[in-house]
Amino acid sequence: METKQVEKPVQLQTSLLGGKLSDESFITLFMVGVLLLVFAIACLVVPNFYKPQNILNLITNNWFVIILGIGVTFVLITGNFDMSVGGNIALTGVLSVYFCQGFNVSQNALANGLGLPYVVAVGLALLCAMGVGAVNAFFIAKLKVPSIIVTLGTMMLARGAAQVITQGAQRNTSLPDAFGFLGSWGIPGTSIRISVLVMIALIIIAFVFEKKTVFARRIYLIGANPEAARLSGINVSKYLTVLYIISALLAGITGILLASEFKAGVSSRAMGYEFDALVIALLGGVSIAGGFGSVLGMFVGAIILSVVTSAATGMLLSPDWQFILKAVVTFIAIVSQRFALERRKG
């Protein structure tokens, strides 16, 4: 690709460069402040909360929702939703089991699979996950059906398919030895497993992608004004299609890793994860109207939620009350963040 350097203007008007923080960085920093505050409170009320091992756990225990959050964040930035990721995790996990379970090895239907090698099973399962994304994209980008409707539909479709394959329960027998490796191997002596490394790698890639690439810039343009984006020569449906397939692929990867970790394909796995992913993105400052937000913000949002959940457990709060605590903190954080942004914009 030939890139021509554009001539610099004769007098560099550096004063016009405006060294001020972008609104996205401002929100991310604001949420880092919120995180520190929540963390400080947690340290005061929960014994040993400040210990390095606990801090590490805050990140490593949430790898799955962070991976989902990446796809969901980019889809949100285009002004759309992806509610199908939770169902897609269950489907992919179940399929990865079914594809590599022994062929005709048992009287029990739930113990029989296709007998494929594990690597092939994973590849096929990921393809199916992307298929769900392609279905989303077809209805949203081509037929212009509102994304919330389409993805709520595919969410149930994917989970329904997982239930049919597991007869409403799970598949966990006659698995090859390799099956448990991805989910259980970790750096010895730490809580860092492959899944966490995958999450870290994906976050770094997503961060660079978001800040540096033309593709990501166009995602923001589509979210900021889809009509102007189209008239500016952006093939909006192409971009939406790619994003929905990427979001589905990330859900698929999560599904494979979770199935491996539990050595089982469970049809009820990841129930409600689509909402967790949405909540952390919003906590991180992503605008529900599109055109605004960042992966780093989403990451900070995930840690905030993790601190609250973990502190609630540490305070021996009954799980019944944890939801309300999470709801209150999330609500206050998002409202204060919007308020701060309004004030800044004046």
Partner 1 sequence: MKSTENVLEIRNLVKDFPGVRAVNDVSFDIKRNTIHCLVGENGAGKSTLIKILTGAYARTSGRILLNGEEYNSHNTRDAKQKGISTLFQELNVVDQLTVEENLTLGMEDTTFGFLRKTDKINKMIGVLNSIEPSIKPNQLVSSLSVAKKQIVEIAKAVAAESDIIIMDEPTAAISESEIGRLFKIIKGLRDNNVTVIYISHRLDEIFELGDYVTVMRDGKHIETKPVSEIQDRSELIKMMIGKTVFEQYTPREEDCPDTILEVKHLSNHRLNDISFDIHEGEIAGFYGLVGAGKTELARAIYGVDEYEGDIMFKGKKLQLAPDKAIAAGIALVPEERRSQGLFTILTIRGNVPVMNMKKISRNGFINDATERNVTLEYVDKLKIATNSIEKEASKLSGGNQQKVVLSKCLFADADLLMLDEPTRGIDVGAKSEIYSLIRRLSKEGKTIIIFSSELPEVMNICDSIYLLYDGSLKSTLRNSCDVDSENILHIVTGGE
Binding site residues, partner 1, CB under 8 A: 1, 3-9, 12-13, 15-18, 20, 22, 212-215, 217-218, 220-221, 224-225, 227-235, 291-292, 345-346
Scanning the structure block, which residue is given the tokens 């149930």? 156
The neighbouring-strand residues paired with 171 are 265
Closest alpha carbon to 61 in 279, 307, 246: 307
Q: How far is the CB of 71 from partner 1 (least distance, A)?
A: 19
Q: How far is the CB of 239 from partner 1 (least distance, A)?
A: 11
Instruction: Name which of 28 and 267 has its Cβ closer to partner 1.
Output: 28
Q: How far is the CB of 226 from partner 1 (least distance, A)?
A: 10
Instruction: Name which of 235 and 313 has its Cβ closer to partner 1.
Output: 235
Q: How far is the CB of 209 from partner 1 (least distance, A)?
A: 10
Instruction: Name which of 143 and 231 has its Cβ closer to partner 1.
Output: 231
Q: How far is the CB of 8 from partner 1 (least distance, A)?
A: 5
Cβ proximity of 215 and 224 under 8 Å? no
Cα separation, 298 vs 279, in Å, equals: 9
φ, ψ at 70 (rounded to 5°): -60, -55
3-state secondary structure of 104: coil
Written as six digits, the tokens of 116 are 């494929």
Q: How far is the CB of 234 from partner 1 (least distance, A)?
A: 7
The most distant pair of C-alpha atoms in the chain lies apart, rounded to whole Å, by: 82
Q: What residues have CB less than 8 Å from 60, skipping those under 6 apart?
A: 191, 192, 193, 196
> How wide is the angle at C-alpha 274 spanned by C-alphas 207 and 191, nearest 5°?
60
Instruction: Name which of 1 and 316 has its Cβ closer to partner 1.
Output: 1
Instruction: Name which of 233 and 272 has its Cβ closer to partner 1.
Output: 233
Please give the single-letter amino acid code of residue 146.
P
Instruction: Name which of 79 and 284 has its Cβ closer to partner 1.
Output: 79
Scanning the structure block, which residue is given the tokens 């973990």? 310
Cβ proximity of 265 and 96 under 8 Å? yes
Instruction: Name which of 51 and 344 has its Cβ closer to partner 1.
Output: 344
> How wide is the angle at C-alpha 81 spanned by C-alphas 289 and 208, nearest 5°?
80
Cα separation, 163 vs 100, in Å, equals: 18
Q: How far is the CB of 13 from partner 1 (least distance, A)?
A: 6
Please give the single-letter amino acid code of residue 227.
E
Instruction: Name which of 25 and 163 has its Cβ closer to partner 1.
Output: 25
Q: How far is the CB of 31 from partner 1 (least distance, A)?
A: 19
Written as six digits, the tokens of 98 are 């079914």
